[in-house]
Amino acid sequence: MSVIEATRLQFKKSAFAEEVVKHLALEPEVHDLFSAATSIETTSHIIAAIVGCETPELLEATSMSDLLIFNSLFTCLRVLFVKQVQGTELSQGEQQIVSLANRFAKKLACNENSMHLQGNIELVIKLYNQLQTLAKAEVRNHRSMC
């Protein structure tokens, strides 16, 4: 990849992250996720970085929507699921992405316009529940070792 192409991709990721921030700021049900140490901006940049590597065509979208956010979070969740299963601990921002994916899946599950996404919505909820179970097991194992 040339320097110009790399710079162009970085610019697209930055613009995408800004759009994610604007969209998430309009979602009152996710504000509680960003009261901790990791900001909405940091989490949005992690989303953009993963999307830029895994599905760069999503960076080309001209307007942010719940559908685009969901597809982006679905991409991130698949990558983060593999990371967690391989034994690498997720950062706080990555954990926020997992929670965001679950919340958007539940939000879209109630939306009649999202019926074509039903398989992905169910998969997100299933992966989220598996990650929660894995995290609880790791906490129990860590406590029993101490």
Hey, where are the domains in the chain?
Answer: 3-145
DSSP assignment of 11-61: HHHHHHHHHHHHHHHT-GGGGGGGGSSS-HHHHHHHHHHHHHHH-GGGGG-
112 exposure class (CB count in 10 Å sphere: 0-12, 13-18, 19+)? exposed
pLDDT tens readout for residues 43-95: 999 999 999 999 999 998 878 998 999 999 999 999 999 999 898 889 999 99
At 65 the three-state DSSP class reads coil
For position 124, what pLDDT does the model report? 95
DSSP state of 87: T
Residues recorded for the chain: 146
Flag the least confident range among 11-15, 26-30, 127-131.
26-30
The answer to whether residue 145 scores a pLDDT higher than 70 is: no
The answer to whether residue 9 scores a pLDDT higher than 80 is: yes
DSSP state of 63: S
- Enter the pTM of the model: 0.90
